[in-house]
Structure 1
Amino acid sequence: MLRMNSGTGHAIYHSGIWSWDNETDRLHFEPHKDLEDSKERYIVTNGYRFLRTLNAAEEKVFREEYVRDKTTFDDDVIAISDVRNLVLFLMPKEFLKLKFIDFMHRPAVRNVLHALIIYFEYFLRMVEFVLIRRDEVEGDKSQIQSEQTNEMKRIFSIYLSQYRMLVARNYSQILKGEGEMQEFYHMKQNMHISASQKDRIFHEHFLAVTIQIVWITMHRRAHHVIEMEMNRLFCSEHFTKHRPEYLKYTPVERSFLYGRRNKVVNYRLQRSPLIQELEYVVDEDLPILWIGERLYRGDNIRIATIELEYIVPDTQLHMIDVAHGILGNPKRLYNTILDLNWPALRLENYSEANDPFHIIRQPTILIPNLSDEQNVEMFKNTEHFLKIFHIHDTYSTKSLMKWLQREHKLQSCKSDDATNIFERCEYELSKTDTTSGILQIIHNYFKIVSRLRKDGNYKEIKRDIPSYIKLHRKNSMIM
């Protein structure tokens, strides 16, 4: 990743306009005030203030302590864990609880984030499609919608419902509190009493962090659209704030974006839209509930496409020519806060014909084949017998406790401007251990090999390493 700051406590470049001031007879810089172009310090998400940019001291702490370990898979590209670590560093200090940090590192939560990113990748395209169609059917040069257009909208609405179904399937595993998520269940086993206040605060923190993760992954666009839809999915429309920045959809647009399962009833009986997707699942969509668990064996191309997008790792999406925001893009094109660096992108010489990471190409919607949807009930599925095995990055208690020390590390870190060059060099020399022992070098080597290769007899080799070293030292002394 590229650095944002170099020797100063502020960003190198500021977005604004230079103009000549005749009164003072000198140049005057006027920064942009727009939210998308300015480098404001904070951005508000669900009432919580997240950092929008980093100064030199914060960037130094983040790059030294909280960047993903190099021993993990595909360290040179952006993964969900990279975005998660960045958001955990940018979130307010009241979020720094060991239970919440541990919760965000669980594989079940990672599956929910993965499904949400896939869903919002297509939801934002559908919102853009709705806004374009709104302009086309209004005004003096309005267009008449044909029967094929309405049928195409119905198919797009079904596609969004299928992605919501995948999100609901993963989210229900957290709600049930089974397996590794049992300690986060809101009901105590012995007392059977729900901690409503703590659970509400925990849920609000989770929603705010999730919105930030999806927003950064989507190239930091459509923040209000993501915030509105995320609150609707998890809290229903009864508990969603109506802000002037939010888009207002017509009843036809709502039925198109929210799907046929969306129902608004009394708030006492209201269920979230995610749970509504699982109440009545048609037989044709049942294989979607097994995506990621068992390999699909059938001739439904739509379900096979969803499965391919879901099971392919987020760091290898360019191999199937699919884009999920910034996931899978090279880190060399992004800075510390995962913002695209356009000067570095120009050196890559990407074009419309040569764009493996969908950076130059604009997001598009593929027009579905209407005849395939008419014969959806004729698709055949065979028995499942192949299970899918997922590999998740492990984490330790030490790495979790490091997040709780974030504020202390930020306060103790001195800015480059306030430190003498000689003192800084002496500090770096004293901190850096250039005399790594043989045991440490071999340990680091086998730590990387054990993750990137298949299972081998590495334990036996590690057990004999001290004897090898003693023999090597003995021979060297004899010589």
Structure 2
Amino acid sequence: MADDDDEGGFGGLYEDGHWIWDDISKSLVFVSDLPPKPVEAIQILAKAPTGTVEFRDDVDLIEQIRFRRRYQRKLKPGQEDVITVQDVKDIALYTAPVQIMSPLLINMLHLPTTERFIRALILYSAYYLQIADEMANRIMELEKKIRTPDCDILEHEFRDNLADLRLLVAKEYSVMLIGGSDMRKFHHMGPAKKRRSLSDKDARLFETLLRMCVQIVWLALGRKSFNQIELETNRIFKSEIFNAVEHTLKTGYINNMAKEERVVLLGHCLRYDKKLNTRSPLMNEVFCHRPIDYRMMGLGVIKVQQMSPRLHYMLQAVAGPEEKLSELGVVVGILGMPRSAFDTMLRPLPTAVEKSKASMSSTSGHSSSKSTASMGKSTTAAHKVYPDVVLPRKETRELFYPPSFPDEPEKIRPCSETQRRRWQNRLMKLLHPHR
């Protein structure tokens, strides 16, 4: 026991680290000898990267052999050898820079909700590029022709198709935002949504997922029109105000659009609020005041009865087996096409390109169209290896609302657990090469 008159004005008992008498504050201070509770550490070396991230696209022959041997999806007995969304994800993960990779991102990419989200984004981007080329041609033809009422009818159909396809993307994106279904453990406030919000961690995950999805869509659409895909993807997720890719490239593509192009490509569900109240175009589509078929909101999740041909097309595109896409006439980029027509990195072989040109010349009237007036020449249709998207028309009869909505779940197609483990193991080897 130290005297109260010791120099420094401090006296007290300190045995085994239990308590201390603080003579200055005249209080008993408890000192715990228990180890501190572990706190979740969020290690973010840099801010979330955006469009400056470059994926490798010059994989040499040795690396292709290594990829085919170790990381390429292996066929099961009796399984058709067609391109699946897993194959495209594998190429994107193999060529991605290490600084954007994380175990969390790999796990998130191998979830049914994310796969539906990616397939819906591929379908929307393919149709967007197709209609952008079509509208560019129509604007050029206005110099020689006169608009008729039929032009408005056709362009309104294009606009409604794009709005419905954006809605398919938005419904899966909404599940990610609220942490529903298999996205619960990825919510920024934890699975129970009661933790403190991890905003930095959430921002990094979102940015890397968005950049990865842009790469996947670009690969699935035959490596064409990367800038258009990236600009439009960032616009629908972030709005024009927060489109960082547009701020970097400064293309001004929206301002350079003609009025007719803007109406069709951007839709009429845009809201120009103050920056703090701005919603992304995807969320605007969800809350838009227009006739929306409520059954679209549950495609791939809830079993819908008495589906129209249009809904059946969308269901197969988003959640159907890739082996049946070609048989049903559903186009989702190169998904469902024979893998033998492509090389290891999913580049079309020359023979496949020639066959594709021959088949499309007889079925498509605008396969050699030009790009939008704002983006200059495009290569979306010049060497396109997949046919155009032809959506069935909407039903003309009024939509019937049943007394109760269906609640029987759809059979969810699982993701490849084998591939997920392969990419997790590869990431661990890249991050810890000397272990």
TM-score tier by shorter-chain length is 0.7 to 0.9
What's the counterpart of residue 247 of structure 1? 253
* Separation (CA, whole Å) in 2 of partners of 1:336 and 1:179: 34
CA gap of 1:200–1:408, structure 2 versus 1, over 3 A, is closer
Q: Does 1:168 align with 2:170?
A: yes
Which of 99, 116, 135 lines up with 2:140 in the alignment? 135
Corresponding position of 1:194: 197
Output the CA distance in 1 between the equivalents of 2:324 and 2:391. Answer: 25
Change beyond 3 A, Cα 1:62–1:409: farther
| Partner residue in 2 for 1:404 | 427
Report the counterpart of residue 50 of structure 1 in structure 2.
55
Report the Cα distance in structure 2 between the residues aligned to 1:97 and 1:185, rounded to whole angstroms. Answer: 16
1:218 has 2:221 as partner: yes
Query: 1:262 aligned to 2:260?
Result: no
- The counterpart of 1:233, out of the listed 219, 233, 236, is 236
| 8 Å Cα contact 2:326/2:336 also seen in 1 | yes
Q: State the one-letter code of the partner of 1:180.
A: D
Tell me the CA shift for residue 253 of structure 1.
Answer: 1.9
Query: SS at the partner of 1:239?
Result: coil
Counterpart-to-counterpart distance in 2, 1:263 and 1:76: 45
Cα 1:299/1:340, change in 2 over 3 Å: closer
Q: How does 1:325-344 map to 2 (within 5 A)?
A: 325-343=333-351
Q: 1:223-272: CA deviations, max 9, x gaps?
A: 11100110011111111133245634234322211212122221100011
Distance 1:314 1:281 in 2: 34
> CA 1:228–1:361 in structure 2 vs 1: closer, same or farther (change >3 Å)?
closer
In the alignment, which residue of structure 1 is the partner of 2:285?
277
**2:222 corresponds to which letter in structure 1?**
H
- Runs of 5+ unmatched residues, structure 2: 1-48, 364-380
Q: How does 1:112-131 map to 2 (within 5 A)?
A: 112-131=117-136
Q: How many angstroms apart in 2 are the aligned matches of 1:190 and 1:114? A: 28
Equivalent residue number for residue 289 of structure 1: 297
By how many angstroms is 1:333 displaced?
1.2
| Runs of 4+ displaced beyond 6 Å | 347-350, 358-362, 408-411
Which amino acid in the other structure matches residue 149 of structure 1? C
Structure 1 gaps, min length 5: 1-43, 412-479
Shift of 1:281: 5.7
The match for 1:153 is 155
Out of 64, 88, 94, which is 1:89 matched to?
Answer: 94
**Greater CA deviation, 300-309 or 108-117?**
300-309
Q: What displacement does 1:350 show?
A: 6.7
Residues in 1 aligned to 2:60 and 2:176: alpha-carbon distance in whole angstroms: 36
Residue aligned with 2:270, SS: coil
In structure 1, the partner of 2:85 is 80
Please give the secondary structure, in 2, of the residue aligned with 1:48: coil
Percent sequence identity over aligned pairs: 25
- Is the alpha carbon distance of 1:194 and 1:131 closer, same or farther for their aligned partners in structure 2, counting shifts above 3 Å? same
Counterpart code for 2:83: I
Q: What's the counterpart of residue 110 of structure 1?
A: 115
Tell me the amino acid that sits aligned with residue 156 of structure 2. R
Distance 1:74 1:228, change over 3 A: farther
Cα distance change of structure 1 residues 381 and 146 upon mapping to structure 2, 3 Å threshold: same
2:283 is paired with a residue of what secondary structure?
A: helix
Aligned to 1:467: none
Pairwise CA distance, 1:294? 3.5
Shift of 1:339: 0.5
Give, in whole Å, the separation in 2 of the partners of 1:178 and 1:365.
Answer: 30
Mean Cα displacement is larger for which, 49-58 or 185-194? 185-194
Corresponding position: 1:68 with 2:73: yes
Residue identity in the other structure for 1:182: R
Give the distance between the partners of 1:387 and 1:72, measured in 2 at CA: 29
**Structure 1 residues 338 and 301: CA distance shift in structure 2, 3 A:** closer
